[in-house]
């Protein structure tokens, strides 16, 4: 065995720990994201890293990748060697840690060979010999039983084949590394499965098990408990920046994992009780597009409907489809207007009284290089006309009113929108749409990257708008937010709504459980009836 002997001081730990991250603490500004996290990995082991959104999984992985620099007393030991912090991204890779991120980092228009060679920095004094490279890659793919043509372009491959290429590329990188020469290495996968079908996930796991057999270890970050149960040796669960538990997979149950992820903490916020439900206002039939395959809903005036699920389950497409921002199909009725989602340009949706506040604030919502006033009044321009065309004075007055209503800081209508914090940007953009008095307001992750105070203000603004009779639909993976805002929450799985929570069932825990409980046929049914009862 080539594992280097460990220091005498550390014999208390398992002998075969090849990676040990201890007392990892990480701060962004004054906010502590990681609080004393300890994580170990052994040779020939697959560890699943689970946790709700914002629990710190990604941050931990980024510490390991050298993107984040943790607090001084954190320790990372790799093959018995304590590494200086922050970790050097190149050194880590050279030592034998390879990463596959969710977006795979493949160039779609180039071939498998091109994409494989991109990360290969070994010296080639005579240039690339294409035929030899092709043979080498073919051999590697054959080793895993993958029928992928190395000369095919990435965009012609299925999603799972693309994931295979990224994983095999990372594996090849491990082999070339220092540890790889001894048959070891650490492969880190950050949520590789959300866009794959059940069968494809199983195939992917086959490849990962083969990789494990070669002597390498795997850390897989995921949301899916069943995947973890079927694949891993140990499970690490993170919650609120701490390692909540480290369990042996064969000694635990899905229920135990679920409880650990959700925790016992409950949110203190109590939603103001809603008065009488309003009249029917919005009707959605057979909405599909993107990852959403079919969605029906009725929303009354003054009602806030949440849609949620795991990433990739299709709920996130709903707001965009309703506004005509993506290609889709289905019938939407808003007030007295009937809209066909297949032929719905955003301008038409807007005219019919639909509004969309997209998740990507500066890419889709507003323009960073224009002022708050210009962004805030863009939709209201027809009302801003004076004798000489659009009146700057009216724009400023309207913007100052918006700034006062939503407490935008700094209270400067002429500041560039991009110079505001995320929460204040969101308040401006929300205010812009609310001023249009839409019948249906669609939101995607309305408080992502928004600080606590601004978040409460946005909730209140939405609550007030609903009280005035607006119908609101919120797509989010933030269960606490949904619990605080929504009258009903529809949970998606694999493109379809599978369950609706309403009334007293709209709690953070119940939403989280409904989202995380996945495709195990029998236990699923019992679980669902229990939750929706």
Give contact residues for other proteins (rule: CB under 8 A).
Answer: 28-31, 323, 325, 345-347, 349-351, 356, 358, 363-370, 374, 378-379, 381-382, 388-390, 409-410, 412, 415, 420-424, 449, 451, 453-454
The answer to whether 471 touches 441, Cβ cutoff 8 Å, is yes
> Cβ of residue 314: shortest distance to other proteins, in angstroms?
20
| Cβ distance to other proteins smaller for residue 33 or 304 | 33
The answer to whether 443 touches 473, Cβ cutoff 8 Å, is yes
Q: Strand, helix or coil at 306?
A: strand
> Cβ of residue 239: shortest distance to other proteins, in angstroms?
19
> Cβ of residue 440: shortest distance to other proteins, in angstroms?
14
Q: How many CB atoms lie within 10 A of CB 286?
A: 14
> Cβ of residue 220: shortest distance to other proteins, in angstroms?
26
H helix runs in 325-369, sequence order = 346-351
Q: Helices 159-176 and 130-143: crossing angle, nearest 10°?
A: 110
> Cβ of residue 318: shortest distance to other proteins, in angstroms?
15
| Cβ distance to other proteins smaller for residue 32 or 298 | 32
Helix (H) or strand (E) run with residue 280 in it: strand 280-289
| Cβ distance to other proteins smaller for residue 123 or 343 | 343
At 217, give phi and psi (nearest 5°). -120, 155
| Cβ distance to other proteins smaller for residue 32 or 259 | 32
| Cβ distance to other proteins smaller for residue 207 or 334 | 334
> Cβ of residue 508: shortest distance to other proteins, in angstroms?
21
| Cβ distance to other proteins smaller for residue 73 or 369 | 369
Query: Rounded to whole angstroms, how far apart are CA atoms 186 and 78?
Result: 10
> Cβ of residue 54: shortest distance to other proteins, in angstroms?
11
**Could you tell me which residues come within 8 angstroms of residue 168 by beta carbon, excluding any fewer than 6 positions away?**
116, 140, 141, 144, 146, 207
**Could you tell me which residues come within 8 angstroms of residue 519 by beta carbon, excluding any fewer than 6 positions away?**
198, 226, 493, 494
> Cβ of residue 445: shortest distance to other proteins, in angstroms?
14
| Cβ distance to other proteins smaller for residue 421 or 500 | 421
| Cβ distance to other proteins smaller for residue 339 or 420 | 420
Query: Rounded to whole angstroms, how far apart are CA atoms 200 and 163?
Result: 10
Q: Closest by alpha carbon to 352, among 441, 277, 445?
A: 441
| Cβ distance to other proteins smaller for residue 30 or 109 | 30
| Cβ distance to other proteins smaller for residue 295 or 323 | 323
| Cβ distance to other proteins smaller for residue 105 or 362 | 362
Q: In what order do the strands lie in the sheet with 217-221?
A: 97-100, 186-190, 217-221, 46-51, 234-239, 242-248
> Cβ of residue 529: shortest distance to other proteins, in angstroms?
40
| Cβ distance to other proteins smaller for residue 159 or 345 | 345
The answer to whether 69 touches 27, Cβ cutoff 8 Å, is no
At 442, give phi and psi (nearest 5°). -105, 130
> Cβ of residue 418: shortest distance to other proteins, in angstroms?
8
- Sign (positive or negative) of CA dihedral 45, 46, 52, 54: positive
Q: Closest by alpha carbon to 419, among 357, 366, 369, 363?
A: 369
> Cβ of residue 117: shortest distance to other proteins, in angstroms?
28
> Cβ of residue 328: shortest distance to other proteins, in angstroms?
15
Query: Rounded to whole angstroms, how far apart are CA atoms 490 and 475?
Result: 10
- Please report the beta strands in 191-271, taking only residues with DSSP state E, as ranges in sequence order: 217-221, 234-239, 242-248
Query: Rounded to whole angstroms, how far apart are CA atoms 207 and 146?
Result: 9
> Quick one: three-class SS letters along 133-188?
HHHHHHHHHHHCCCCCCCCCEHHHCCHHHHHHHHHHHHHHHHHHCCHHHHCCCEEE
* Secondary structure letter of residue 271 according to DSSP: P
């Amino acid at each position: 065995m080539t594992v280097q002997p460990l220091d005498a001081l550390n014999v208390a730990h398992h002998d075969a720990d090849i990676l040990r991250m201890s007392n990892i603490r990480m701060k962004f500004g004054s906010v502590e994201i990681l609080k004393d996290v300890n994580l170990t990995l052994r040779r020939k082991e697959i560890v699943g890293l689970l946790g709700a959104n914002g629990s710190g999984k990604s941050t931990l992985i980024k510490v390991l990748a050298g993107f984040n620099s943790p607090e001084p007393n954190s320790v990372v030991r790799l093959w018995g060697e304590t590494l200086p912090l922050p970790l050097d991204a190149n050194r880590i890779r050279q030592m034998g840690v390879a990463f596959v991120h969710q977006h795979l980092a493949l160039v779609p228009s180039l071939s498998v060979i091109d994409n494989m060679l991109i990360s290969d920095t070994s010296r080639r004094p005579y240039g690339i010999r294409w035929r030899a490279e092709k043979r080498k890659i073919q051999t590697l793919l054959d080793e895993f039983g993958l029928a992928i043509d190395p000369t095919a372009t990435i965009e012609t491959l299925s999603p799972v084949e693309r994931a295979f290429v990224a994983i095999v590329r990372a594996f090849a990188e491990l082999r070339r590394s220092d540890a790889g020469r001894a048959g070891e290495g650490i492969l880190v996968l950050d949520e590789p499965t959300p866009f794959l079908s059940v069968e494809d996930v199983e195939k992917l796991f086959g490849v990962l098990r083969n990789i494990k057999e070669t002597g390498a270890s795997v850390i897989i970050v995921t949301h899916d408990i069943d995947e973890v149960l079927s694949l891993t040796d140990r499970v690490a669960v993170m919650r609120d920046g701490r390692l909540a538990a480290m369990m042996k997979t064969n000694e635990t149950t899905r229920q135990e994992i679920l409880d650990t992820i959700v925790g016992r903490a409950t949110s203190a916020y109590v939603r103001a009780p809603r008065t009488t439900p309003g009249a029917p206002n919005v009707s959605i039939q057979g909405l599909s597009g993107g990852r959403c395959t079919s969605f029906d809903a009725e929303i009354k005036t003054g009602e806030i409907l949440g849609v949620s699920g795991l990433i990739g389950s299709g709920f996130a497409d709903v707001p965009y489809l309703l506004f005509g921002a993506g290609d889709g199909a289905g019938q939407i009725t808003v007030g007295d207007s009937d809209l066909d989602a297949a032929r719905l340009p955003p301008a038409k949706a807007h005219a019919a009284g639909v509004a969309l506040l997209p998740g990507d604030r500066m890419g889709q919502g507003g323009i960073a290089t224009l002022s708050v006033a210009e962004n805030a009044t863009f939709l209201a321009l027809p009302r801003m006309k004076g004798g000489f065309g659009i009146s700057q004075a009216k724009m400023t007055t309207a913007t100052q009113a918006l700034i006062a209503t939503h407490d935008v800081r700094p209270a400067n209508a002429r500041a560039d929108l991009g110079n505001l914090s995320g929460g204040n940007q969101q308040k401006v953009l929300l205010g812009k749409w609310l001023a249009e008095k839409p019948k249906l307001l669609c939101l995607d992750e309305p408080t992502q990257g928004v600080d606590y105070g601004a978040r409460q203000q946005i909730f209140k603004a939405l609550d007030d708008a609903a009280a005035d009779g607006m119908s609101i639909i919120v797509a989010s993976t933030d269960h606490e937010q949904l619990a605080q805002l929504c009258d009903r929450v529809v949970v998606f799985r694999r493109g379809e709504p599978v369950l609706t929570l309403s009334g007293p069932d709209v709690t953070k825990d119940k939403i989280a459980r409904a989202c995380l409980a996945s495709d195990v046929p029998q236990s699923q049914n019992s679980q669902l009836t229990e939750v929706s009862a």
